[in-house]
Amino acid sequence: MNSRSLAVVLAAGQGTRMRSALPKVMHPVGGLPMIAHVLKAVDAAGIGRTALVIGTGATWPGDVAGKASLHVQDHPRGTAHAVLSAKDAFADDIEAVVVLFGDNPLVAAATIDRVLARVHGGADIAVLAFETETPTGYGRVLLDDNGHVAAIREEKDASADERAVTLCNSGIMAIRAGEPLDALAAIDSDNAKGEFYLTDLVAIGHARGYNIVWEMADFEEVMGVNDRAQLALAEAAFQRRARQKALETATLLAPDTVYFSHDTVIGTDVLIEQNVVFGPGVAVDDGAIIRAFCHIEGAVISPGATVGPFARLRPGTAIGPKARIGNFVEVKNAVLGPEAKVNHLSYVGDANIGASANLGAGTITCNYDGKTKFRTEIGDGAFIGSNSALVAPVAIGDRAYIGTGSVITDDVPADALAIARGRQVNKPDRSPARPAAATDTMEGATHDEADPGAPSDAGVRDTRA
């Protein structure tokens, strides 16, 4: 039935208390703008159409507004005026309208569905309410002797007895199309603020004999965000939910220190240690281990892989099955094959790393020349010695071996040994720490006369695999 419903999402508020150049509803919770959370819940509830009410001069990126039609509220004159700004979306085939707010990022699709179900089930108006022992600032939901909603009184217009009521209005309301929806035109601005309140529709409907019901919600779910302190509370609530969901399948050693994004996917038997941050676009597959102090965004981590501690995975990263990313390793836009290893102190950017390849400590893929990014290709079973620089574009063949400290600028064939570094020179008696000598001239220095072009195994073996 929700397919024949319309969601009107109010997002025209200027949000001056946020003290930000960013529109209030664009501030993120869990890495996603608040308004996008609401629109995502609307889609999940199966609502057929969405109208987004915005302020004059507001711009909305298409990836946020999605399929919603945009409607401008020319002047902020209250919530009823805002809803009527979307009147063009009130099509003849709509059976119900649900009004939502862009600064309620935690509202669930199931809750929206419950409110709409009351209207589809015969009610004229359904109000979403919550209970709180500290109702100051909220509109009060007033019931008649039959337990039906008789009115919603804004606090500035409430009497002392009405202010003592602890059943409060969330702002979310479903309205049956037809006469109840048409009654929006009867709302006036005769109140303390001189605005057209959507909540006045309830008193008008009660006087006309409408069937007005209410549904209960948890306060945390319908909390609004008006300033940065409330934004922090919403973020904390989101993280509590995300941690609880993750704990259904994964082990979190210190849950309160792990931070998730709105789209984080965690598989079964995943171990997440302390102080881990997941940015947007992360999927961690079954049996993976995320060690302490990692920051991960835009990455896919395959089954059995290990990341960290102190690792950073940036967008475009894919870690293969049983691969290992160690401490102080940064990976960006790179694919690591099964059982590949980058164990410590390395940067891997714009690269493909083959299965079972090993990158020693201090390996760097030099992917950027100041204008263009280039890729590095490392074959299966290749061994990159410690402190090597691979200057892209370059390809290292299967099972190739790069000597420690090499700067590789040319492709290395499969099974080849590549050494690209200056030869060692020893100068006797030139150490600044040696005892002072009576005479000390450069003529006394000797050089290694070995052919600098001759290959040598000395120092090639990387002992820090």
> Which of the pair, 407 or 453, is modelled with greater confidence?
407
Average pLDDT, integer, range 341-368: 98
Mean pLDDT of 222-251: 96
Per-residue confidence band for 461, with pLDDT thresholds at 50, 70 and 90: very low
Per-residue confidence (pLDDT) for residue 445, from 0 to 100: 44
pLDDT score, position 146 = 86
What is the per-residue pLDDT for 455? Answer: 46
pLDDT at 454 over 70: no
**Among residues of the chain, what percentage have pLDDT more than 70?**
93
Please report the pLDDT score of residue 431 as a whole number.
87
Task: Tell me what pLDDT residue 450 has.
Answer: 42
Q: Tens digits of per-residue pLDDT, 76-133?
A: 899 999 999 999 999 889 999 999 999 999 999 999 999 999 999 999 999 999 999 9
344 belongs to the catalytic site: yes
Cβ neighbourhood burial of 25 (10 Å; 0-12, 13-18, 19+) = buried
Kindly name the residue from 81, 295, 344, 447 that is annotated as catalytic.
344
pLDDT at 451 over 70: no
Side-chain half-sphere exposure of 50, counting CA atoms within 13 A: 25
What pLDDT is attached to residue 460?
47
Average model confidence (pLDDT) across the chain:
92
Residue 123 tokens, joined: 């009610």
pLDDT per residue as tens digits for the range 330-340: 999 999 999 99
Angle between helices 109-120 and 34-44 (to 10 degrees): 50
Q: Per residue in 30-58, pLDDT tens?
A: 999 999 999 999 999 999 999 999 988 77
User: Which domains does the chain show, CATH number per domain?
Assistant: 2-222 (3.90.550.10), 250-444 (2.160.10.10)
Angle in degrees, CA 447, 448, 449, rounded to 5: 100
pLDDT at position 432 is: 87
pTM of the model: 0.88
Mean pLDDT value across residues 257-281 = 98
**Structure letter (DSSP) for residue 11:** E
Phi and psi angles of residue 288, each rounded to the nearest 5 degrees, phi first: -75, 155
For strand 28-29 and strand 32-33, is the pairing parallel, antiparallel, or unpaired?
antiparallel
Judged by DSSP in three states, 251 sits in: strand
pLDDT of residue 437: 57
- Given this model, what pLDDT does residue 458 score? 42
Q: What is the mean pLDDT of residues 338-344?
A: 97
pLDDT(442) > 90: no
pLDDT > 80? residue 438:
no
What is the amino acid identity at position 356? S
Position 65 scores a pLDDT of 82
- CA pair distance 119, 115, nearest whole angstrom: 7
Locate the DSSP E strands across 337-416. Answer: 341-353, 358-359, 364-366, 376-378, 383-384, 389-391, 394-396, 401-402, 407-408
> What is the per-residue pLDDT for 449?
42
Q: Scanning the structure block, which residue is given the tokens 């993120």?
A: 28
Q: What pLDDT digit, counting tens, does each position of 16-35 carry?
A: 889 998 889 999 999 999 99
Given a cut of 70, whether residue 316 has pLDDT beyond it is yes
Lowest mean pLDDT among 102-106, 222-226, 459-463: 459-463
pLDDT at 106: 97
Tell which wins on pLDDT, 335 or 451: 335
Q: % helix / strand / coil in the chain, to the nearest 5?
A: 20, 30, 50
pLDDT higher than threshold 90 for residue 401:
yes
Residue 307: other Cβ atoms inside 10 A: 26
- Cα–Cα distance measured from residue 388 to residue 401, given in angstroms and rounded to the nearest whole number: 11
